[in-house]
Structure 1
């Protein structure tokens, strides 16, 4: 929320922020949230199913992509609540706990998404630039440990956001989920300012510097090494293109929100005080949030268009579902393949023995 001051008995009075003045926000934003929810849940569920059923979880990149899809799904379950709240003029009927939990999940998804993309970039750098030396580190065990650390670190970073959110009563009788900023405070709240700066630095700028550095080193290595086998190069190039598209999508989705969020930080630091500028910030914020939330459903689209291997396995999944064929567990499928191979081998040996015995007669 914008700057708010407490009154004696009527609740909180908005002194400058104009959130809610533009009525079209209450119609357009919930529709976008609903679209993001449907597309995101369906798409990320397919990603989880395809990777679990058909693609090897022994590949480090697949483990990170699977965790990224699970992260998006955990966030997407909150979108129906945000759509309901926006459609009712930011009225929050779900209580204090869900206010804190949903706000925390938004930031949690921001951190997990960028951290898993960063981990994927580092993995591609090690696989392409240092394929031999990195073999001892690029294992399934280390990948699982890295995922656990990402989940824990992102959770720790999102806890302060959850704790600072609460339910507040506005002077017009509306109950909202937001942050209370004091109008008369001589300086900004240090905790809120630290949370905002962490969101900009750890949730956007620092990971992107790491990702860009990895890509520059990968590009230089690919330009200088022409002796790599064609099959290996094609596989690395496909994963690299898919990762580049996912990183670009994250940047395009989150950059507008980060710009508006930075303007909010300037407002917290008392650099921006003009109510007309704050009106622009409060009006733009819901739409930049819509674009940012769209990132949770764009990753499956990226995998489908860029990743040929993922697209092939997705078609297998859809064909089995359309025909009503139960999807076999990967271990069962591999055992059945081995048994069928042994059966065909035994059948060929029997045929050969019968033919040889017939020739001897």
Structure 2
């Protein structure tokens, strides 16, 4: 619902009408939003509670995972408003401030999620491939400072998207939209170049560049572990388990966000030709709510991938649900124990490989 062309005191005109308005969207999408809201709130709240109460913030991985869960929670609180917005046929009854704030939190979550995933990937790369040299950098203080930078940088990147959003009264209709402002006489600051910059920033900084960094880190981790297996065959099963967890995290983010990024790019490229081809706009506006549902589902996947894969996490979760005292703690948290052990085995194997090569050269 973003094809706004002209501004007027009695409302705005849409070049292609209310494209993408279908009863099955108004029924199905709010139900999906409701399920994502319940699952995401419960899952991420458990992650926060378990890490804070039992695992504590003693490792870099736990700090990043905790902040990732908090990021998802800040976004999930906006889902009931978006569900009502869709269920009422794209009518926004909450006013201009909440329209801007909700849009900001959506983009804010996109940036914080991918940045925390990237930071976690870089940390895993340093811990496994360069465990000794990176020890001075991989501290709790470093992780906390990194989180502060990510929160502030993501907020700055999200502000332009909030500025470009507002409520719109539709001509000859009682519908009030919460959509993107387009260039008009009343909005001289909102230019086509400004909107294009926001879209490109969302695609590049919010997906493509971080994803390339993540893939690069995991490829280097995989290469290091494959080389280490020739020295320590016994650690193969545990290494495979860690690799599967890392691959699942990357794959989940990719599958959840790629459809929305593709249709977002299509929407950006077809904006200049909307008046000539409303059929394309109809396809994009019909598919966009479902791609958004898939993207939002990533907020439910994160707790499963980063928390519930560990046996110790499940044990601590059961202790939390049973209201067990905080006296006896599991000695090694799920994420940190596996990663630390893997880092030690990988570094030991890599050093043995280097020594064997050196001895062969001497001979």
Determine if the TM-score, normalized by the shorter chain, exceeds 0.5.
yes
Distance (Å, rounded) in 2 between the aligned partners of 1:145 and 1:236: 30
- Report the Cα offset of residue 237 of structure 1: 5.6
2:274–2:281 CA contact under 8 A, matched in 1: no
**In the TM superposition, what are the counterparts of 1:214-233 in structure 2 within 5 Å?**
214-226=217-229, 227=231
The aligned counterpart of 2:111 is 111
Distance (Å, rounded) in 1 between the aligned partners of 2:275 and 2:286: 16
The aligned counterpart of 1:254 is 257
The aligned counterpart of 2:6 is 6
1:267–1:273 CA contact under 8 A, matched in 2: no
Confirm whether residue 52 of structure 1 aligns to residue 55 of structure 2. no
What SS is found at the alignment partner of 1:306?
coil
- Report the Cα offset of residue 50 of structure 1: 1.1
2:4–2:182 CA contact under 8 A, matched in 1: yes
CA 1:90 to 1:293, structure 2 compared with 1: closer, same or farther past 3 Å? Answer: same
Structure with bigger gyration radius? 1
The aligned counterpart of 1:176 is 177
The aligned counterpart of 1:19 is 19
Q: Cα RMSD over matched residues?
A: 2.5
The aligned counterpart of 2:195 is 192
- Report the Cα offset of residue 177 of structure 1: 0.7
2:15–2:274 CA contact under 8 A, matched in 1: no
| Structure 2: gaps spanning 5 or more residues | 330-363
The aligned counterpart of 1:141 is 141
Q: Aligned match of 1:293 in 284, 293, 296?
A: 296
Confirm whether residue 302 of structure 1 aligns to residue 305 of structure 2. yes
The aligned counterpart of 2:355 is none
What SS is found at the alignment partner of 2:177?
strand
Distance (Å, rounded) in 2 between the aligned partners of 1:7 and 1:213: 47
The aligned counterpart of 2:32 is 32
**In the TM superposition, what are the counterparts of 1:93-112 in structure 2 within 5 Å?**
93-112=93-112
Q: How many residues align?
A: 324
Distance (Å, rounded) in 1 between the aligned partners of 2:67 and 2:156: 18
2:111–2:206 CA contact under 8 A, matched in 1: yes
What SS is found at the alignment partner of 1:177?
strand
- Report the Cα offset of residue 8 of structure 1: 4.8
Confirm whether residue 89 of structure 1 aligns to residue 89 of structure 2. yes
Distance (Å, rounded) in 2 between the aligned partners of 1:167 and 1:271: 21
Give the TM-score normalised by the residue count of structure 1: 0.83
Distance (Å, rounded) in 2 between the aligned partners of 1:32 and 1:294: 9
Give the TM-score normalised by the residue count of structure 2: 0.83
What SS is found at the alignment partner of 1:54?
helix
The aligned counterpart of 1:339 is none
2:21–2:89 CA contact under 8 A, matched in 1: no
- Report the Cα offset of residue 271 of structure 1: 8.8
1:303–1:310 CA contact under 8 A, matched in 2: no
Distance (Å, rounded) in 2 between the aligned partners of 1:68 and 1:205: 19
Distance (Å, rounded) in 1 between the aligned partners of 2:101 and 2:53: 32
- Report the Cα offset of residue 291 of structure 1: 0.7
The aligned counterpart of 1:359 is none
Distance (Å, rounded) in 1 between the aligned partners of 2:58 and 2:8: 62
CA 1:108 to 1:139, structure 2 compared with 1: closer, same or farther past 3 Å? Answer: same
CA 1:169 to 1:256, structure 2 compared with 1: closer, same or farther past 3 Å? Answer: same
Distance (Å, rounded) in 2 between the aligned partners of 1:311 and 1:215: 26
Distance (Å, rounded) in 2 between the aligned partners of 1:272 and 1:206: 33
- Report the Cα offset of residue 125 of structure 1: 0.4
- Report the Cα offset of residue 25 of structure 1: 0.8
The aligned counterpart of 2:42 is 42
